[in-house]
Homo-oligomer: A and B are copies of this chain.
Amino acid sequence: MAHVLGQNQYGKAENRIVRVYRDSTRHEIKDLNVSVALSGEFEDVHLTGSNANCLPTDTTKNTVYAFAKEHGIESAEAFGITLARHFVDDTAPVHRARIRIEEYAWERIRTPDSEARFIGSEEVGHSFVRSGQEVRTTEVVYDGESVRVISGLKDLVVLNSTNSEFWGYIKDRYTTLQEAYDRILATQVTARWKYGFTGRADEAEPAWNRCYTQVRRHLLEAFAETYSYSLQQTLHAMGTRVLDQRAEVDEVRLELPNKHHFLVDLEPFGLKNENEVYYAADRMYGLIEGTVHREGVVPVIPVA
């Protein structure tokens, strides 16, 4: 019986690129990790060993670096769209391009006594310290007709030291958990959100950078403001907050590991632990995942 070649894709992954803007004495930097995946007419490459249809992964890498010069990097999303359109529109056998980008944030080093000074209200300088909080992510897919942009963040670690309960759940033969009326709730947020934008000629691009900043803010605020009866409830509040506040977004998916903080039993030592001393566990952890989307929208962000 014959075998069939199904979905396949290839490209250069994890192209680390730093783009410096030196237009004034106040430099700017963009620090990205770009991964390219191309699909199309690649049957021969797999079956016959002919590479006549194959754009080498090395060339996809070169294109990433060349485009950083030719087109600049205004935002990860805009850069991804430009790359994806190029691969599909300019290379016949390529029918679909997926560009994934991670972006690492940097802050300026403030040195009041030194050459870093202000021009108007803007600092100048060329020295940066990496801001280690979350990593910004985006995935752009272009199939020759429309663009799909799913942006997100990961590694954003948050903690509420109170206003979290968990009780009233199913009890079965394997239940030992005690109900909790005041616990720490901590998680490491992975979020992805889909933009309604599809790249039609008459469509305005969202303000990608501002939208990112605002989604991040709403996620943090919803986490902080929700009095929680479960991490599921907090997840739902975070997702709906984004949909409520950002019209550009029509679907949000969150993956929230419940980073357990266990109250340490200090009674054997004659001490009372009034929700003060916790053991922060690595594994195992609860893992809560869910999608919230606008009515009428077909959700597309895949389950991890």
Interface residues in chain A, defined as those with a beta carbon under 8 Å from any beta carbon in chain B: 1-22, 27, 29, 31, 35, 37, 42, 45-47, 49-59, 61-63, 65-66, 68-70, 90-91, 93, 106, 109, 111, 113-116, 125-134, 155-163, 166-170, 172-177, 184, 220-221, 223-225, 228-233, 235-236, 239-240, 243-244, 251, 253, 257-258, 261, 264, 266, 268-269, 271, 273-295, 297, 299, 302-303
Taken together as a complex, chains A and B put the C-alpha atoms of A277 and B65 apart, in Å, by 7
Q: Please give me the residue from chain B that is nearest to A130 by CB atom.
A: B157
Closest 8 CB pairs of A and B: A132-B132, A8-B290, A6-B291, A49-B229, A127-B224, A57-B286, A130-B157, A46-B236
Say whether B45 contacts A114, CB under 8 Å. Answer: no
Q: A229-B51, A294-B4 are in contact. Are A284 and B159 (CB under 8 A)?
A: no
Some 30 contacts from A to B, beta carbons below 8 A apart, are A5-B236, A7-B289, A7-B291, A8-B235, A8-B290, A9-B289, A9-B303, A11-B286, A13-B284, A13-B286, A16-B281, A18-B279, A27-B161, A29-B161, A45-B232, A46-B235, A49-B233, A51-B168, A54-B232, A56-B166, A56-B169, A58-B176, A69-B266, A106-B159, A111-B224, A111-B225, A113-B225, A115-B225, A116-B224, A129-B159
Say whether A290 contacts B5, CB under 8 Å. Answer: yes
A-B contact sample (6 more), CB < 8 A, given A8-B235, A9-B290? A18-B280, A51-B169, A51-B230, A56-B170, A128-B161, A132-B132
Say whether B52 contacts A168, CB under 8 Å. Answer: yes
Say whether B161 contacts A277, CB under 8 Å. Answer: no
Say whether A221 contacts B271, CB under 8 Å. Answer: no
CB A292 to nearest CB in B, in angstroms, measures: 5
Say whether B126 contacts A163, CB under 8 Å. Answer: yes
Instruction: Note all chain B residues with C-beta closer than 8 A to A276.
Output: 19-22, 68-69
Say whether A279 contacts B16, CB under 8 Å. Answer: yes
Instruction: Note all chain B residues with C-beta closer than 8 A to A115.
Output: 225
Say whether B51 contacts A17, CB under 8 Å. Answer: no
Q: Please give me the residue from chain B that is nearest to A235 by CB atom.
A: B46
Q: A232-B42, A236-B5, A284-B13 are in contact. Are A277 and B111 (CB under 8 A)?
A: no
* Copies of this chain held together in the complex: 4
Instruction: Note all chain B residues with C-beta closer than 8 A to A233.
Output: 45-47, 49
Say whether B284 contacts A46, CB under 8 Å. Answer: no
Q: A7-B290, A221-B113, A295-B4 are in contact. Are A22 and B132 (CB under 8 A)?
A: no
- B63, B111, B302: the one within 8 Å of A174 (CB): B63
Say whether B170 contacts A91, CB under 8 Å. Answer: yes
CB A83 to nearest CB in B, in angstroms, measures: 11
Say whether A175 contacts B56, CB under 8 Å. Answer: yes
Say whether A286 contacts B223, CB under 8 Å. Answer: no
Q: Please give me the residue from chain B that is nearest to A46 by CB atom.
A: B236
